Amino acid sequence: MAEYKVQFEVFEGPLDLLLYLIKKEEVDIYEVNLTQLATKFIEYVEVMRMLDLEIAGEFLVMASTLMYIKSRELLPKEQQVENPEEDEGEDPRWELIRQLVEYKKFKDAATQLQAREWEQENTYPRLPIRPEEPAPAAPLRGEASLFDLINAVTEVLKRVGKRDDLREIFEDKWSVSEKIEFLIKLTTDKAAVKFSELFSGATSRPEVICTFLALLELIRLKQLVCVQSADFEEIEIARAPAPSAPLLQADAPPETNLS
C-alpha cells in the first residue's frame, strides 16, 4: 500500500480516476474488465481515506455503482438475474461505459481548447497606430488664435515704431513672398521659433507687416502652426506635421472608424 501514497494523484472526480485507471491498464475503454476496475477504484478510495483526504460524495456513489456491477457478475452466468424490466432500461455496465466515453471525449476537447488558448495567447493582431495620433503638435498646449497673433504683432510694431520715428519714408524693400521663403527657411533649421525671433531683424513697420502677412499665409496653407504652451507664454512657430498637408494622393485615405 505504501507505493500508493507516493503515486497518489488528486482527481477531479470519480470519472477522472476511472479514466486514469483504465489508461494505466492500457486497454480500450470498451474492453476494460469492470470487476477489476471496481477493485482498483475502491483501493484508491481506501487510500484517500487513509490519507484523511476529504472524499467527495461522488466517489462513494461511484464506488457503490462499481460494487453493484461487481456483485452482479460474481454469480455464475446461468444464475445471473435476467431482469426483464431492465431490458430496456439501464444496464449499469453500459451506463458507466457510456458516461466514461462521453467524459473522455470532453476531456480531449478540453485539451484542444487548451492548445487554442496557448495559440491565441501568442497571437498578436496587427493594429497599426491610428493616423490621427501623430498629428498636430500634440505635446504642446494649443494653437494660438488669430487674436493672440495680432496681439503679439502689435507689441512688436510698438517697438519697431519707436525706432522708426526719425527715419524717412522709403520704398518697400520687402515682399510677402520673400518673407514666406524666409520663414520656411527659419522653421526648417529649428524645431520651434519664438514669435519675437521672427522680427528680431526687422528694421521697419512695413517689414514687420510683411513678415506677419507671410506668417498668416503659411498658417492658412497649413505649413506652419503657432502654439502657445501656456497663457501669456510667448507664441512659438513650428512646421505643421507633414501628413496633414494635401500632399497625399487620394489613393490612400485611411478609413478609420466604421462603427
Query: What residues form DSSP beta bridges with 143?
Result: 227
Asked whether the beta carbons of 196 and 205 are under 8 A apart, the reply is no
Contact (CB, 8 A) for 243 and 252: no
The least CB distance from residue 19 to another protein, in Å, is 10
CA distances from 208 to 148, 174, 194, 205 (A): 16, 10, 15, 5
Comparing CB distances to another protein, the nearer of 58 and 181 is 58
Q: For residues 100 and 227, which CB has a smaller minimum distance to another protein in the complex?
A: 100
Q: Which residues of the chain form contacts with another protein (CB under 8 A)?
A: 12-16, 28-36, 56, 58, 62, 73-74, 77, 80, 87, 91, 93-94, 97-99, 101-114, 116-128, 130, 250, 253-259
With a CB cutoff of 8 Å and minimum separation 6, the contacts of 233 are 141
80 vs 175 by CB, closer to another protein: 80
Residue (39 or 223) nearer to another protein, CB? 39
Give the nearest distance from C-beta 57 to another protein in angstroms.
Answer: 9
Q: What is the DSSP string of 69-114?
A: HHHHHHS-GGGS---GGGTTS--HHHHHHHHHHHHHHHHHHHHHHH
Q: 28 vs 171, which CB is nearer to another protein?
A: 28
CB of residue 22 vs another protein: minimum separation in angstroms?
A: 11
Burial code of 144-167, b = ≥16 C-beta within 10 A, e = fewer? beeebbeebbeebbeebeeebeee
Q: Which is nearer to another protein, 3 or 54 (CB)?
A: 54
* Residue bearing cell 492500457: 26
Nearest to 65 by CA among 34, 19, 109: 34
| Coil vs helix vs strand at 234 | coil
Cβ of residue 50: shortest distance to another protein, in angstroms? 22
Query: How near is the Cβ of 3 to another protein at its closest, in Å?
Result: 25
DSSP designation for 244: G
Nearest distance in Å: CB 226, another protein: 31
- Residue with Cβ nearer another protein (73 or 217): 73
Least spacing, CB of residue 52 vs another protein, in Å: 20
